[in-house]
Structure 1
Amino acid sequence: MLELFLIVAGVHFLALLSPGPDFFLIVRTALLHGWRRASGICAGVALANGLFIALAWAGLSSVQPGRMLYTALQWGGCGYLAWLGMRLVRSPGTPVTVQAPRAADALAPGWPQALRMGLINALLNPKNALSYASLFTLLASSPGYLQAICGVWTVCAVLGWDLLVAAAAGHPVVMRRFARHVGRLERATGAVLLALAAGMAINALR
């Protein structure tokens, strides 16, 4: 059980290191309006991730190993992870542009508006739904308490990482250093995802 939790937590954290739409929305808001406003975006993104996890958990709770739907989910998740891993391995690195901070203006979103922006942005990103459905396929035959622990952990990890990104966005030096290593992080994440897809395929064949 501990090994399975570490696999899920590790793969999820590596995926967090690869910039996506949520990352750039958080960075832009933090640079333009400060990390407190960006924390609303972070909370909205975490809430959306929690909803995706709950849907994945609810869907997989009725799937039992050995059934056709379970096998289809296994191979579907395997294929998605392999596709995403190959894309990341071949990626030259998503460009991260760091702009000079600007004073917040009258049009700056309030915290509730920022929360709504983060929630909508994450919900409209299909990668979130697909990645959680694939990741939680690994937990389909595990005890309910382990699935709950992994769900809570991933939501907390998303919120913690996004808040850290928002705080760091106020320091351009930190963001420039991060930007120099984006390519390596994406390729490392891709390699891990490919290895996980291979493991899922071997398990499905058995």
Structure 2
Amino acid sequence: MFEYLDEFLLIALAHFFAVASPGPDFALVLKQSIQRGRANALWTSGGVALGILVHVSYCLLGVAIVLSQSPALFNLLKYAAGAYLAYMGLQALRAKPASQSQGEEATCKQHAETALQAMRRGFLVNALNPKATLFFLSLFTLVIAPTTPTGVQAFYGLYMALATWVWFSFLAIVLSKARVRAFFQRAGHWFDRGIGVVLIALAVRVVL
């Protein structure tokens, strides 16, 4: 394994910069942390990590090459991702001001979501993200040598999934702290609408 250490470090560095850059995953974890709390955001982070495994799997199977050679298939992925992000953005834009009589308990119920729903949301945002597709395609075709054993490549993929989960779980813990949530929730529905604009802008960027 030590003979692949240089390759692994290069992959780890590239993945860190990719996962730390603002994008759909970050916007979603931020939204979930503020609106729905820590537990929900952690499940969402787990879904994002599972999405990473999808990209790794089709790269190992060679489907990434087929995807790169088929503009129609890649465009289909782009439009699906853009539509899903736009859908979430429109939902956020429809946020209404809470009434004066509406308490914190009622607000939590309004934003209630099961663990499975949260994980599915994170999974779909990452798995459908064509930016992630291009990133993993680049890694598995340009960075990882063709002679690298499949088992080692699978280890790289598991590491990236785990690192993604740790990173977004860390963000979820920080963003869901009472002070942070209170800061964003002072703006109430305006925060929701702001996130909606960001998600729609990301949808347009993904498509274009």
* Bin for the TM-score computed over the shorter chain: 0.5 to 0.7
Q: Does structure 1 retain, via aligned residues, the 8 Å contact 2:36–2:111? A: no
Match of 1:5 in 2: 8
Match of 1:23 in 2: 26
Q: How many residues matched?
A: 139
What amino acid is the match of 1:122? Answer: N
Q: Give distance in 2, aligned partners of 1:120 and 1:148.
A: 21
Kindly report which structure 2 residues correspond to 1:87-166, keeping only aligned pairs within 5 A, or say none. Answer: 104-137=108-141, 138-139=143-144, 140-166=146-172
What amino acid is the match of 2:47? Answer: G
Shift of 1:169: 0.5
Q: Which structure 2 segments of 5+ residues have no match?
A: 70-103, 185-208
Q: Does structure 2 retain, via aligned residues, the 8 Å contact 1:5–1:146? A: no
Shift of 1:49: 0.9
Matched, 1:49 2:52: yes
Q: Give distance in 1, aligned partners of 2:18 and 2:111.
A: 32
Could you say if the C-alpha distance between residues 28 and 59 of structure 1 is closer, same or farther in structure 2, counting changes exceeding 3 Å? Answer: same
Q: Give distance in 2, aligned partners of 1:11 and 1:168.
A: 24
Q: Does structure 1 retain, via aligned residues, the 8 Å contact 2:43–2:119? A: yes
Q: Which structure 1 segments of 5+ residues have no match?
A: 64-68, 74-101, 177-206
Shift of 1:143: 2.0
Structure 1 counterpart of 2:174, from 168, 171, 178? 168
Shift of 1:141: 2.7
Shift of 1:17: 1.1
Q: Does structure 2 retain, via aligned residues, the 8 Å contact 1:22–1:45? A: yes
Q: Does structure 2 retain, via aligned residues, the 8 Å contact 1:43–1:115? A: yes
TM-score of the aligned structures, taking structure 2 as reference length: 0.60
Deviation by residue 1:120-150 (Cα, 9 ceiling, x = unmatched): 1112211111111111122233122321221
Q: Does structure 1 retain, via aligned residues, the 8 Å contact 2:52–2:126? A: yes
Regions of 4+ moved over 6 Å: none
Give identity over the alignment, percent. 30
Q: Give distance in 2, aligned partners of 1:117 and 1:48.
A: 10
Match of 1:196 in 2: none
RMSD over aligned Cα atoms: 2.7
Match of 2:84 in 1: none
Q: Give distance in 1, aligned partners of 2:165 and 2:115.
A: 15
What amino acid is the match of 2:132? Answer: N
Q: Give distance in 2, aligned partners of 1:52 and 1:128.
A: 8
Shift of 1:105: 2.7
